[in-house]
Amino acid sequence: MLVEVQRSGLPVVVDEVPDEFVLQLAAEAEVKAREADRSKLRLALAWARRHVVDDVMRAAHWSDVDLRDVCEPIGGAGTPLVHEAAVAPLAAALRVSARTAMQLMSDALDIEHRLPRTRAGLESLRIAPWRARQIAVLTHGLSVEAAAYVDAQVAPIADTVGRTRIERLVNEAAARFDAQEQAAAEDAAKQAWGVRLDHYTGAVWAGTSRLEIIGDTPTLTKVYELLNKRAHQRFDPAKPGAEQPPLEHRKVAALGDIADGAGARSRTTLYLHLSPDDALGFVERLGAVTVETIRGWLRASRFTLQPVLDLSRTDAVDGYQPPAWMRELVILRDRTCVHPNCDKDARDCDLDHIEAYVEMDDGGPPAQTRPDNLAPLCRRHHRAKTHHGWTYRRNRDGSYTWTDPFGRIYDVPRP
């Protein structure tokens, strides 16, 4: 039995009401969701305003590392700078990553300072918060004047049009407003050029990866047409259609053919953890995969076997630097940065001495560098600990307990 509470506060048994009443409840649920999302934007704005700084060197910026020459503050032009230390507590409270929390503050600042009509639509809930945020994202790189122009064009119709149309309107308005903006947008788009390999295409890794290529339209169109041509050549006319791999799968195979033809050979190191009796293997950094799939890979590539590391080792060393085996152990044990909700891979993190290392010449005890006093921290969260008042400890069961600068406590379970 489904019981829903109406906005008036009265409960209603959903199974017993007519269709139109169910639709009424659904509409009310949408209003409640919009109100909740509007609250989050208002609170993110209030939080950002409590932590305004003048010094760009102390402001939060989009780079994960402490590159002081990369200063890209979180809000667009015309918005105030927000202190770097404001990011982690908000992210922890919302149980999201630092980037997600920064995006929320960025959108809230852009809507407040750059998009007055969108802001009015959001406040009256005429414009759904996700649409307002989308307009903020799409206008983020524009000048104050160009953003205001787009705001005036898009806000009146933003509640009735789809995502693609908003995108096109923003692009057109931006281009019409300022040809220089268009040139700048083309330069900015080039910043994204690159080829990236991503192994997480769904909630879990399942032997499938994504290769993303961003580049100039003529080159990519040429590559795409070649893949299509080769994929069609892989169609075997002697076989019935039902036995042929689907076209999209043949495109992937065609890409492999092209790589083989160019003399490609995989040098990738995959750390496979296999037990003799299991139907599943475990690939480090990626996840579980069937032994059947691993067999297919082994037929296609050469692999280097690594000796197994004893994860229960506890011995310590006196120096600051952990030896290679200890580093490997901590990385395999914790897998990611151990700050709440951070998924930066441990291999890209620094190993932090949980209890600060003191040189033995300065009276420090021996054996300070040992597995249970080391944890991987990404640059951002290393700074949160070193400069912004976060503390943590490693518990006996391998979990971590963090305390933010305001005394709020977060548990991070072992992976």
Summarize as ranges the residues that interact with Zn ion (CB under 5 A). 337, 339, 342, 344, 378, 381
Task: Considering the complex, state which of residue 150 and residue 375 has its C-beta at the smaller distance from Zn ion.
Answer: 375
Shorter beta-carbon distance to Zn ion: residue 148 or 351: 351
Is residue 80 within 8 A of residue 52, CB to CB? The reply is yes
**Phi, psi dihedrals of residue 244, rounded to the nearest 5°:** -85, 145
What number of other Cβ atoms are within 10 A of residue 205's Cβ? 16
How distant, in Å, are the alpha carbons of 128, 236, 244, 245, 250 from that of 239? 52, 6, 7, 11, 15
Residue 200 in tokens: 């997480």
Q: How far is the CB of 338 from Zn ion (least distance, A)?
A: 8
**CB 219 → Zn ion: shortest distance, Å?**
36
User: Which of 237, 382, 22, 303 is closest to 13 using CA atoms?
Assistant: 22
Q: Least Å distance between CB 339 and Zn ion?
A: 4
Whole-number Å distance between alpha carbons of 387 and 10: 49
C-alpha span between 325 and 310 (Å, rounded): 9
Give the nearest distance from C-beta 62 to Zn ion in angstroms.
Answer: 15
Task: Give 208 or 386: the residue with its C-beta nearer to Zn ion.
Answer: 386
Beta strands per DSSP E along 10-84: 11-13, 52-53, 81-82
Nearer to Zn ion, 154 or 378 (CB): 378
Q: Which of 77, 163, 88 is nearest to 115 (CA)?
A: 77
Residue whose CB is less far from Zn ion, 147 or 342: 342
What b/e string do you get for 66-81 counting C-beta neighbours within 10 Å, with b at 16 or more?
eeeeeeebbbbbebbb
| Separation of CA 117 from chain center | 30
Closest to Zn ion by CB, 107 or 334: 334
CB of 285 to Zn ion, least distance (A): 16
Tell me the CA distances in angstroms from 93 to 19, 59, 105, 108, 310, one per residue in order.
39, 20, 14, 17, 36
What is the 8-class DSSP label of residue 156?
G
For tokens 């918005």, name the residue: 79
Kindly report each contact of residues 404-409 with a partner whose C-beta sits within 8 Å and lies 24 or more positions away, as own/partner: 404/88, 404/89, 404/92, 405/85, 405/89, 406/89, 408/89, 408/92, 408/93
Q: How far apart are CA 364 and CA 373, in angstroms?
A: 14
Task: Give the long-range contacts of residues 355-362, CB within 8 A, separation 24 or more.
Answer: 357/320, 359/320, 360/318
Between 350 and 359, CB nearer to Zn ion: 350
Query: Closer to Zn ion at the Cβ: 227 or 337?
Result: 337
Looking at the Cβ atoms of 77 and 332, the one nearer to Zn ion is: 332
Buried b (16+ CB within 10 A) or exposed e, 164-182: eebeebbeebbeebbeebe
Q: In the complex, what is the shortest distance from the CB of residue 198 to Zn ion, in angstroms, rounded to a whole number?
A: 19
Q: Which is nearer to Zn ion, 323 or 415 (CB)?
A: 415
